[in-house]
Structure 1
């Protein structure tokens, strides 16, 4: 499976895959908003095999400490359960660590994301923007980070 950075030619396909994966939820517009935001990190927007899947990390903060917010991650429904999401996760986490990032934060299933080294963010004293998220709010650390409240890139506030 080939994982590579998104290109401008991939934008429509990313939108289509994300709409299919999330049943036309707000995730596809979110990615468009993120591309226009100062928190956009082009080398952390990755696609799999053409565009059967996509993952993105954008700049977030724990207090004033830079961290990454992961998501959305989407896989075309016809390709789910075949390792595409796993490959995307390994690729984006490897790219984040290679960039010298210290933390990746996400909201998702602990049963699924623990296989990638994520643990509940509360174990590190990192709190979610919405308190009700705590049972699903997770962090993968590559170094020392302070405790504190996490905030995603501004476009997440539009959801």
Structure 2
């Protein structure tokens, strides 16, 4: 898309973003509630919520927010998780989701983050550089319906192979599974 612009979400974008998320996740209404809850939580990271604009409107959204990685000794370290990625249904298949993920990962790398975790399609996210998280010592608890391969990680420039552990989602994200 020639006229696609990706930039940071602003408060003025919230209503349009919420509409895109609701439409993209029509069968999972809790996703829009999760976005609203993260925005007002300590896990929200300004600049890590990005919108895609085309045709003078918001057509896509991605959010990276904080979550905990807990090592075997019980030490906690905040890392980033990608959830959700949403594209307005009429704009799907145009590369907007891929562009949003790339932009989010680039921003995380630019800010010195070590990695980004997510639960999602290995086929889609694998094309974008995500790999099987357990192969790097990172465990994600997945919903019953998700295959083990859905646990994925993107290793950034600041990655340290000694960073290992179990991902513990904050309540805003954990509530989505409940």
Q: Give the TM-score taking structure 2 as reference length.
A: 0.85
Q: Which structure has more helix as a fraction of its residues?
A: 1
Deviation at 1:129, TM superposition (A): 2.7
Q: Distance in 2 between matches of 1:114 and 1:39?
A: 26
1:147 aligns with 2:159: no
* Runs (5+) with no aligned partner, structure 2: 71-75
* Runs (5+) with no aligned partner, structure 1: none
Deviation at 1:42, TM superposition (A): 1.4
Structure 1 equivalent of residue 21 of structure 2 = 18
Q: Give the TM-score taking structure 1 as reference length.
A: 0.94
Describe the shift of the 1:131–1:75 C-alpha distance in structure 2 as closer, same or farther (beyond 3 A): closer
Q: Distance in 1 between matches of 2:48 and 2:138?
A: 22
CA contact (8 A) 1:58 1:153 kept: no
Q: Distance in 2 between matches of 1:61 and 1:22?
A: 25
Structure 1 equivalent of residue 9 of structure 2 = 6
Size of the aligned set, in residue pairs, is 159
Deviation readout 1:28-71 (Å, 9 max, x if unpaired): 11000000110100100000013100000001121112210101
CA contact (8 A) 1:19 1:27 kept: yes
Structure 1 equivalent of residue 128 of structure 2 = 116
Q: Distance in 2 between matches of 1:34 and 1:131?
A: 20
Alignment partner for residue 55 of structure 1, among 57, 62, 81? 62
1:51-130 alignment runs, 5 A limit: 51-63=58-70, 64-130=76-142
Secondary structure of the 2:45 match is strand
Secondary structure of the 1:17 match is helix
Q: Distance in 1 between matches of 2:142 and 2:94?
A: 32
- Of residues 16-25 and 122-131 in structure 1, the stretch that sits farther from structure 2 once superposed is 122-131
Q: Which has the larger radius of gyration?
A: 2
CA contact (8 A) 1:37 1:153 kept: no
